[in-house]
């Protein structure tokens, strides 16, 4: 009997629609070797990179190495009870984390599980931790400022929404403090903040949480913690999990700030995994793909066009240097990926210049386009003035006889540096920054003794905020310093000087 072609097509279509692929997803394998958080598995022929697998003890793992006959898997939990011969089952799903509004105000681990003792997190959606970065067509240029509230940064190395700005410096130079200040300054700005702690001490993470809680910042923040005591696989996936949580809000049209503290420890965790997976070591024993490790993470930060939701994700990665060496392997890698860097110098920090921003080595490659007009107008000459001051300071430190012009430049530079000093956890609004910058860069404080400049300027701005409420609100809302505002500031400062500096 000859079957008609349409009957064959119909039968094939029924077979395809009724095909059950469960056998693929429930494929099982056997553990050949386990130790140091790595399991070598035989039998998972169809496993894919990044897929979750489940062991018979209930612990999960993530596929990270595909060899000819075996699969290398990193354990996302304790290896207690696992031994040679244990069975492993494919899940058919990539490693993912819960996302949604329910995550706000919580402290979670690298898998999104709560560790703050406040009960379960109620979310309905999950998102893969690894996700392809947005393409060129979906991105928009950075034009909206993300105010850090730190005068030295907003004036000279501004950050825009969707930018990737690196914080780099030796240990104990105030990197985390700047990141926390930036998070605190987002209060009322409708920005979701995610702080990812990688390889930090648990006490340090607790301190950050207490600071955010005390200043009311936990309401719009998520802390994702993979402390130094946790296995290398959890430290490795932590920043990707944080990025996944941030992308959820970005695709809803929201603005997100994500801090990776820090990527040096992330690279070290990945190096440990790679060496245990028997990958070839390269420079400083890091694997060959360590550049891709951070590029695929930081490329996920961007500003989307209105057509794709109009949200943004701003990344502030932190890198710890050794003895100020910014030319080491990991620092140079991340510098080349990001849109600028803020370099914190140890010598400045211990000299009392805090935040210890080195103006010469710090740069923002796109933030200037997103700077408010008031700050751009008032801070225009500050970088040049400070650079000139630094140069003259080096040449004149052994000289006692200086000409008046050189002495004036040095005195002006000293007053600018005093003005840039800022206490911890006291971010400034734009209006306050604009007034301080205007009176500083225009030489209106040059007759104030250098050691009194900081207190004098702060008290003057306090008076402006009390006596000229509408003017300060106008500067804050418009981001512009009008001619009327400039005249008012000058007149108010002249009166204040008569009161405070009667001898001048």
Q: What is the mean pLDDT of residues 207-227?
A: 97
CA end-to-end distance (rounded Å), the chain: 115
Which value, in Å, is the radius of gyration of the alpha carbons in the chain? 28
> Residue 491 is inside which H or E element, if any?
helix 483-500
Torsional sign, CA 228, 233, 239, 243: negative
pLDDT digits (tens, 9 = 90+) for 320-378: 999 999 999 999 999 999 999 999 999 999 999 999 999 888 999 998 888 999 999 88
Q: Using CB atoms within 10 A of its CB, is residue 78 exposed (0-12), middle (13-18) or buried (19+)?
A: exposed
CA angle at 408 for the pair 402 and 411, rounded to the nearest 5°: 100
Which pLDDT belongs to residue 24? 47
* 365 is annotated as an active-site residue: yes
Overall average pLDDT of the 403-407 stretch = 85
The pLDDT tens digits of the residues spanning 38-86 come to: 999 999 989 999 999 999 999 999 999 999 899 999 999 988 899 999 9
What mean pLDDT value characterizes the chain? 92
| Distance, CA of 73 to CA of 271 (rounded, Å) | 15
CA distance 424 to 427: 8
Helices (H) and strands (E) in the chain, counts: 17, 16
- The pTM of the full predicted model, rounded to 2 decimals, is 0.91
Kindly state the helix (H) or strand (E) to which residue 4 belongs, with its residue range: none
| Distances in whole angstroms, Cα of residue 363 to Cα of each of 175, 326, 337 | 16, 14, 14
Q: Which of 365, 383, 463, 490 is labelled catalytic?
A: 365
DSSP code per residue over 63-132: EEEE-SSEEEEEESS--TT--TT-EEEEEEEE-EEEESGGGTT-EE-TTS-B-SSS-----SEEEES--P
Give the CA angle between residues 14, 19, 23 to the nearest 5°: 170
% of the chain exceeding 90 in pLDDT = 80
């Amino acid at each position: 009997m000859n079957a008609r072609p349409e009957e064959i097509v119909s039968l094939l279509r029924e077979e395809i629609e009724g095909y059950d692929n469960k056998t693929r997803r429930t494929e099982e394998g056997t553990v050949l070797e386990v130790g140091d958080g790595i399991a070598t598995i035989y039998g998972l022929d169809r496993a894919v990179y990044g897929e979750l697998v489940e062991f018979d003890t209930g612990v999960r793992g993530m596929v990270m190495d595909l060899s000819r006959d075996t699969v290398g898997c990193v354990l996302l939990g304790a290896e207690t009870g696992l031994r040679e011969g244990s069975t492993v089952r494919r899940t058919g799903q990539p490693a993912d984390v819960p996302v949604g509004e329910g995550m706000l105000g919580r402290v979670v681990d690298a898998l999104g599980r709560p560790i703050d003792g406040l009960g379960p997190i109620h979310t309905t959606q999950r998102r893969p931790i690894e996700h392809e970065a947005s393409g060129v067509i979906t991105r928009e240029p950075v034009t909206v400022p993300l105010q850090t509230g730190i005068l030295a940064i907003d004036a000279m190395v501004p950050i825009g929404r969707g930018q990737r700005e690196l914080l780099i410096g030796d240990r104990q130079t105030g990197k985390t403090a700047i990141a926390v200040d930036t998070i605190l300054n987002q209060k009322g700005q409708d920005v979701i903040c995610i702080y990812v702690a990688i390889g930090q001490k648990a006490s340090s993470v607790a301190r950050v949480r207490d600071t955010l809680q005390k200043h009311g910042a936990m309401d719009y923040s998520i802390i994702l913690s993979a402390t130094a005591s946790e296995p290398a696989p959890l430290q490795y996936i932590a920043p990707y999990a944080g990025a996944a949580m941030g992308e959820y809000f970005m695709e809803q049209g929201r603005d997100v700030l994500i801090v990776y503290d820090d990527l040096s420890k992330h690279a070290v965790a990945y190096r440990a995994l790679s060496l245990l997976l028997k990958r070839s070591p390269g420079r400083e024993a890091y694997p060959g793909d360590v550049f891709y490790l951070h590029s695929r993470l930081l490329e996920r930060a961007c500003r989307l066009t209105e057509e794709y939701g109009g949200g943004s994700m701003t990344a502030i990665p932190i890198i710890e240097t050794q003895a100020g060496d910014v030319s080491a392997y990991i620092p140079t890698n991340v510098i080349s990926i990001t849109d600028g860097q803020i370099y914190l110098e140890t010598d400045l920090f211990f000299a009392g210049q805090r935040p210890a921003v080195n103006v010469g080595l710090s740069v923002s490659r796109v933030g200037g386009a997103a700077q408010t007009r008031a700050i751009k107008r008032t801070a225009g000459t500050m970088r040049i003035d400070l650079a000139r001051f630094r140069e003259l300071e080096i040449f004149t430190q052994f000289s006692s006889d200086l000409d008046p012009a050189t002495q004036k430049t040095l005195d002006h530079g000293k007053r600018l540096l005093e003005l840039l000093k800022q206490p911890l956890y006291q971010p400034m609004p734009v209006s306050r920054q604009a007034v301080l910058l205007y009176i500083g860069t225009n030489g209106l404080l040059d007759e104030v003794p250098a050691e009194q400049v900081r207190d004098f300027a702060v008290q003057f701005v306090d008076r402006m905020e009390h006596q000229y409420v509408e003017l300060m609100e106008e500067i804050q809302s418009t981001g512009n310093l009008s001619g009327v505002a400039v005249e008012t500031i000058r007149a108010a400062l002249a009166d204040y000087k008569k009161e405070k500096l009667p001898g001048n």
